[in-house]
Amino acid sequence: MKNLIIASTSTLYGGSYLDYLTNVLIEHFKEATTILFIPYARPSGITYDEYTKKASTFFNKIGKKVVGIHEFEDPKKAIENAEGIFTGGGNTFLLVSTLYKNSIVETLAQQLQKGTPYLGTSAGSNITGLTMGTTNDMPIVYPPSFKTLSVIPFNINPHYIDTDTALNHMGETRETRIAEFHKFNPQPVIGLREGSWLQVKDTTIILKGELPARWFTANANPIEIFPETKINELL
């Protein structure tokens, strides 16, 4: 039974790391004493130790210990034995490349299918979908495959930004980019705005947070979906 929190972001504007999800995560990880942290996405190029310390600072507040996966000699066994898993945000290309380098993509997917509680934010949310093809990140490294964990049957676009016609920006909008994606890929995409997340319990996927999300399917106009919508019923 899958048990996932898939969040657009780790930090809301003006807030501190993960604080807006505090009550959700207390419940989500209630059976875990130690959280396995996957710091591979390395936001701003920080070290694994620095990133793990950042995650620890939050989880210590709710009585949880955090251990970085890089601290284990065998990352596969670390995942198999984890009571809970958190993959932080950063660069999705780097995250996916490192997961493949360490040969743990399949292991991680299997454990999430078995029900190990999982939190993903930003890049850590991207990888729960069918592919990483709807990431917003620069391709700073080249992973051997864009295929990711496939624990949900669609793709994630975190940090979704609506088109602002008041700006003079002439580049492609997020909606345009996803339309380009759908010229070559059939799977739906959910654009998660900041402060929104998906709660996954087995086959039930529910939009949470205060904001609607944007639902994109190939050859159709995008639609707004509202909090408490069961996303699986749209498939």
Rg of the chain taking only CA atoms, in angstroms? 17
Distance between CA atoms of 147 and 71, rounded to whole angstroms?
Answer: 26
- CA proximity to 32, closest of 108, 117, 111, 107: 117
Whether 27 and 199 have beta carbons less than 8 Å apart is answered as: no
Residue type, 118: Y
- Give the residue carrying structure tokens 């284990």: 72
Distance between CA atoms of 62 and 84, rounded to whole angstroms?
Answer: 14
Structure tokens at 232: 């699986």
| 3-class DSSP assignment, residue 225 | strand
Residues 6+ apart with CB under 8 A from 119: 4, 5, 7, 21, 25, 28, 29, 84, 85, 86, 87
* CA–centroid distance for 89 within its chain: 7
| 63 conformational bin, left if phi > 0, alpha if psi -120 to 50, beta if neither | left
Size (the chain), residues: 235
Residues with catalytic roles: 122, 137, 159
The secondary structure of residue 5, as a DSSP letter, is E
